Amino acid sequence: MFTPHKLNRLVFFFAVVLPSFLAIGIDSAQAQTSTAPAAESAPQSLAPVTVQGVSYGPNAVSLPSTINVLGQRALTEGQPRVNLSESLGQVPGLIVNNRQDYAQDMQLSIRGFGADSAFGVQGVYMTLDDIPLTMPDGQGQSQIIDLPMIGGMQVIKGPFAALYGNAAGGVIQAYTRDAPDPPSLSLSTWTGNWGTHQTTLIGGGTIGNVSGIAGLTDFHTDGWREHSGATRQQFNGTLSWNATPDDRYSLVLNVFNQDAFDPGGLTRAELEQNPRQVEASRIAFNTRKTVSNDQTGLVWEHRFDADNTLRTTVYGGTRGVTQYLPFTGSFGASAGGVIDLSDYFAGTTVDYTHRGLLASRPYTVTTGLSYARENEFRHGFVNNNGVEGVLRNDQYNTVSNFAQYAQTHWELTPRLSVSGGVRHDTVNFNSAPGSDAPLAAGTGGSALYSSTTPVVGLLYKLDEHNSVYADYGHGFVTPTFYQLAYRPDGQPGLNFALQPMHLRNSEVGWRSQQGKLRFDSSLYYITTDNQIVVNSSTGGRTTYINAGNTRRYGTDLTLDAALPAHFSARLAYSLINVQFQGGPYNGNTMPGVPRQQLYAGLTWRPPLQSPALQGFFTTVSALVRSQVFVNGQNSAAAQGYGAMNWATGIEQRRGPWRLSEFVRVENLLNRNYIAAVVIADSNGAFYEAAPGRNVIAGVQITRDF
């Protein structure tokens, strides 16, 4: 599945780009001159913490909304660093499932938004180093985030997420770790069950006003289930240059290649017979998916003076997807059993931030413009038992998003502040059929969606240890090209009858820190018009409809504690209740959303004065979930479960060398449970099981220069 073309690209990055980044670090060690400090991107050593604020624009201030922050330790320590499901279970309100199917990406949702995504991420906006990973239609891929390279991550929930535009159910921002100081080069590798292993090479440093870090990751698995093997190669690099005291440039480069077989879901009978099997047509048609995504971005920040800052971001890239479905696609009005997509995307954002005094109290105002465009060439071919056949579908699709926004924050008193903002988005879809494909006539069309989304909030500090906040706002989620791709009536052409969702989002919260105990809580209530849901799913081809309105309410609770004897603990609880109001599923629960989730983790670290146990840790964690309905009728469900994991590791230092080892046991109690579901599968193949107990062991060696 790994083609010579992809190999050549990776060889180029390994032989040319990575050494360029590493040379910065080596030259820095040899220069013996003072160097500028590494550029800050995200907290590197924070424990998971909830803060009340959204950073929006340069030098932005905290706003009355909820952000969960995960530092590098929480994201990587004692973990394989392959999937977001490893660490984001610590975030209340966020559900992320490992399907054991790398062809379909993680199943990720925030407060229910994106829960029924057939593949990739929908309804949640994602960025990496401030460069969007979400296309202007709202579709994104979490796999592009190369976890070994990540230094921190923010998860934004609540009304202020709407200021990021389309896909307003929530925001996930990932940041590459800082360039190391002193410069260093590290090699890590681990191995586990089912032929699974990963190797990562990371290096970088600082010389003068330039700093950089880059990494290559190679992942392989034969798969726990039959026909579920995958390979993945990634390059991620950042290069920063402080050209003047007032000008800073940041270059971001990402390369992603993945080949994965697609085992699909199982019926209840198949699950009980053998959860590792696949349905026979998956083998007969050799279902699989190849994905490539290359993108680069440049951020320029200019400070006019202490109170005025301009930031400009430009980015662009290409994405290719080839997917083989478990049928021929040669019948009736079918668009084929092989999907071939070639996407070209680009965008720019310009925002200006001003700070000043109003009535002798400080305020901040940020205004900006954003434009993004995606060009998609979509082809469909007959699947001749795993071999591409004749052309069935040929479309040229475009989507663009033009937005204007403004945000303000004013400290009315030392304790009370008010924040607000407004954003206007115009999203334009167009589709033109190719003349050389069957059934092409009359299948073109266009759709124009627009929305103005205001938000407002208050933050009040009760005392230095307690604060409360309340916020309210509107949101906007358009259909994605994937949701538009197929009409429920089976006719050719895009499903332009699908309408966007409009949100009304309210939230109140309380944060408290007393000594070594930190507690955060929020209550939310959200109504949604024109809820987009899965209508049917057959062999990986999914159609969508608007199913009336929804009402969702719930709570997010987190508790962090530093305990005696060098123990620390974390609890994160979610209550997510999403119900249809009106439409075909009136009164039923949204499929794909567990009503309750609880994460609990306990860690022990010896005191720093224990040289024999330097860098030692041991962590046991548990994730408990309630049942999940698999369709809008609520006629079937995946039962709830509880699963435990354990990890331990240690580090040794000898001069410039560091060696660390870890062992991790997943599903410690060897429970049988369903990890993810396929929503509304027409054949009842709803269930994707989790593997039993499995062990991984890894080692990392680092050389400082």
The number of residues in the chain equals 705
Per-residue pLDDT band at 10 (split at 50, 70, 90): very low
State the pLDDT at residue 492.
77
Per-residue pLDDT band at 38 (split at 50, 70, 90): very low
Return the ∠ at Cα 225 (arms to 662 and 235), rounded to 5°.
Answer: 55
Tokens 């080949």 sit on residue: 259
Per-residue pLDDT band at 618 (split at 50, 70, 90): very high
Question: 342 with 320: CB under 8 angstroms?
Answer: yes
Task: Report how far Cα 12 is from the mean position of its chain's Cα atoms.
Answer: 27
Q: Look at residues 407, 376, 406 and name the one whose alpha carbon lies nearest to residue 481.
A: 376
Using CA atoms, how far apart are residues 613 and 649, in angstroms rounded to an integer?
A: 10
Instruction: Give me 266's structure tokens.
Output: 């199982």
State the pLDDT at residue 312.
97
pLDDT tens digits, 174-225: 999 999 999 999 999 999 999 999 999 999 999 999 999 999 999 999 999 9
Return the percentage of the chain with pLDDT > 90, whole number.
Answer: 77
Tokens 């923010």 sit on residue: 154
pLDDT tens digits, 287-329: 999 999 999 999 999 999 999 999 999 999 999 999 999 999 9
pLDDT tens digits, 563-587: 999 999 999 999 999 999 999 999 9
The answer to whether residue 471 scores a pLDDT higher than 90 is yes
pLDDT tens digits, 212-264: 999 999 999 999 999 999 999 999 999 999 999 999 999 999 999 999 999 99
Question: 397 with 430: CB under 8 angstroms?
Answer: yes
In the three-class reduction of DSSP (H, G, I as helix; E, B as strand; rest coil), residue 503 is classed as strand
Strand partners, 452: 424
Question: For residue 358, what is the enclosing H or E element?
Answer: strand 338-358
Strand partners, 569: 561, 602
The answer to whether residue 493 scores a pLDDT higher than 50 is yes
Using CA atoms, how far apart are residues 60 and 406, in angstroms rounded to an integer?
A: 12
